Amino acid sequence: MKKLLEYLKEYRKEAVLAPGFKLLEAVFELFVPLVMARIIDVGIPNEDMPYILKMGLILLLLACVGLTVSITAQYFAAKAAVGTAASLRQAVFDHIMELDFTGVDRAGTSTLITRMTSDINQVQSGINMTLRLFLRSPIIVFGAMIMAFTIDVKSALIFVVAIPLLALVVYGIMAITMPKYRKVQLLLDRVLGTTRENLTGVRVIRAFHMEEREEEKFHAQNEELTAAQTHVARISAVTGPVTYVIVNAAIIYLIYTGAVKVNIGALTQGQVVALLNYMNQILVELIKLANLIVTMSKAVACAGRVADVLELPAGPEVEAGAEKSGAESITRGEDREEVPFLAFDHVSLTYDGAGDATLKDIDFRVRKGETIGIIGGTGSGKSSLVNLIPGFYRASEGAVRLEGRDIKEMQEEEIRGRIGIVPQKAVLFRGTIRSNLLWGNPEAGEEQLWKAIDLAQAGEIVRGKEGGLDAEVAQGGRNFSGGQRQRLTIARALVREPEILILDDSASALDFLTESRLKQALAGLRDTTVFIVTQRASSILHADRILVLDDGQIVGIGRHEELLASCEVYREIYESQYETKGKEA
């Protein structure tokens, strides 16, 4: 919570002025019952119309001044609340961008979206309401009590009884509802997660005709969320009736004692009306304060959730030795026999929260310019292995070294600036083909873009679109087929002219002819080390070396012919794909 208050410091002036002006409004409001008492006690009995008009003008002046300061207070409160929420949202987004894959996996995508949107909106409302009412309501409550004592001490004793009772009710309800609002937000996370999953996989759901099951699942989660919200709303709703009962009981007491005292001449009618007005002011402010408590309960619960995101570790810190220059490491790397270009030294990887290691004792060396194929069954750890190269995940044991340096000792921009990555899921961003390709290298010229496009066998796609490089790309690239998206993402990686190119099952949607042309084009990249992750043996027959993974371990390494003779796992994969084709033919 303290960390979140830092974002309010930028709006210190507004945070002071807003409650300050609300305090002025409260002071002016406290004078209204006294003016009304003077009209009733002096103006009406004496039928003094000029005096009544004068007091009426004073009431009008108090109303105008109160309205002006109230609007001013609202302006500063809104400015502080919206500005703080904007800064906080930006900070959360920036922090999420700094999270490594482990941090994102730990938090969950749907949770991060909820905390950036719904939770921060609740924090914004809480700040706004707090700045407007946090000082005003207590000042009105205690100010009305003090003003009542100036009128009649004995009658005002009822205020001393009513206010603590009301405070007890409000505090008790706040203590009960605050943890329940946190639970409501967690249930909202789950509903949003299910919604996001269903929208992403809507085609799969329809293909398997599972709409009814998903509807029932969503209905159950939605009902649980509704029940939790209804439960906490019922508890919060008790605040109003209980405060009304207490205040109205106090008003009844005031009317009774006031009537007796007016009858014996101890109080005037105007003074009784003033006492009733002060009690009504307390009632109104306590209702506002109850609403403030509900809003603050939500805001505090949501602020804690936002703070949890900001407290997630932003990624492993660069270890000692990061100050070594890239030039030094490249010089060392020139002696390739002593220092390989890329090395996995007995690397193991265990994902956060997983019981068993995903990768176990991975040990191999790669020369610059080699093409390395990585093959294995589903879940064998192929993608996990290549994700270690750019540092998306950090090795649990062992070290990944680039030109002799542990990547843990390298700055993120240094290592990833030398790597081009084409992930399993081909992702394009809304904009144009040009804007998507420039992600690879923002300074790339037209010639460099077209070179990458032709290498990726995407020339016919770009030339066939109206506008060419400036053709529109819809969100997620949905106006392109799967194969087209894959070729464009390969082109995006090639624009960078990377030293290491990682193709993570990125040709799965390509036909064999296009894939063959792509392999021939990539074979011409003599200075680029290429990693090809695949489940199709045909994609890596040309590779300089092939790594065969099984259950997170390397069970074979060598060229295609060598592995056919020596690696049973590779032979089974190859024969399952090629002999089946021969039989079908």
Q: Is residue 109 part of a domain?
A: yes
What six digits make up the tokens of 29?
Answer: 């409001």
The total domain count for the chain is 1
pLDDT of residue 153: 82
Q: Residue 347 forms beta bridges with which residues?
A: 362
8 Å CB contact between 35 and 271: no
- What percent of the chain has a predicted confidence (pLDDT) above 90? 24
- Indicate if the pLDDT at residue 467 is higher than 70: yes
- Collapsed DSSP state (helix, strand, coil) of residue 478: coil
Dihedral of the alpha carbons of 492, 498, 500, 505, in degrees to the nearest 10: 10
Q: Which domain holds residue 297?
A: 90-310
Q: 43-53 pLDDT, tens per residue?
A: 888 888 888 89
Angular region, 353: left φ>0, alpha ψ -120 to 50, beta rest: left
Helix-strand-coil percent breakdown of the chain, rounded to 5? Answer: 65, 10, 25
Query: Is 303 contained in some domain?
Result: yes
What is the average per-residue pLDDT within 238-260? 82
Q: Look at residue 483 and tell me whether its pLDDT is greater than 50.
A: yes
Residue range 421-439: mean pLDDT, rounded = 89
pLDDT of residue 334: 42
The enclosing H or E element of 382 equals helix 382-387
- Closest to 81 in 3D by CA, of 1, 178, 10, 137: 10
**Residue 2, pLDDT score:** 67
N- to C-terminal Cα distance for the chain? Answer: 68
Stretch 52-66: mean pLDDT: 89
- Three-class DSSP labels, 49-116: HHHHHHHHHHHHHHHHHHHHHHHHHHHHHHHHHHHHHHHHHHHHHHHHHHCCHHHHHHHCHHHHHHHH
Strand pairing report for 359-366 and 553-558? unpaired
Q: Is the dihedral of CA 387, 393, 399, 400 positive or negative?
A: positive
pLDDT(436) > 70? yes
Three-state secondary-structure class, residue 340: coil
Integer angstrom CA distances of residue 362 from 72, 203, 394, 416, 552: 66, 37, 13, 21, 8
When pLDDT is cut at 50, 70 and 90, the band that residue 415 belongs to is: confident
* CATH code assigned at 213: 1.20.1560.10
**For residue 579, is it within any domain?**
no
pTM score above 0.75: no
| Average per-residue pLDDT for the chain | 84
**Residue 140 resides in a domain:** yes
Q: Is the pLDDT of residue 103 over 80?
A: no
Q: How much is the pLDDT for 338?
A: 62
In a domain? residue 55: no
**pLDDT 10s digits, 351-372:** 877 678 889 999 999 999 899 9
Contacts of 341 (CB under 8 A, 6+ apart): 333, 366, 367, 368, 402, 403, 529
Residue 376 backbone dihedrals phi, psi, to 5 degrees: 170, 170
- What backbone phi and psi angles, to 5 degrees, belong to 473? -115, 120
Of all residues in the chain, the percent with pLDDT exceeding 70 is: 94
Q: How many CB atoms lie within 10 A of CB 289?
A: 24
The beta-carbon contacts of 568-577 under 8 Å, at least 24 apart in sequence, are 569/376, 569/377, 570/375, 570/537, 570/546, 573/375, 573/376, 573/377, 573/535, 573/537, 573/548, 574/537, 577/536, 577/537, 577/538
**Residue 417 tokens, joined:** 């600036």
pLDDT digits (tens, 9 = 90+) for 19-38: 889 888 888 888 888 888 88
Contact predicate 532/451, CB 8 Å? no
Is residue 35 assigned to a domain? Answer: no
| Tens digit of each residue's pLDDT (9 = 90 or more) over 106-164 | 777 777 888 888 889 989 988 998 888 877 878 888 888 888 888 888 887 887 888 78
Please report whether residue 298 resides in a domain. Answer: yes
d(CA 363, CA 554): 8
Alpha-carbon span 561 to 578, nearest angstrom: 14
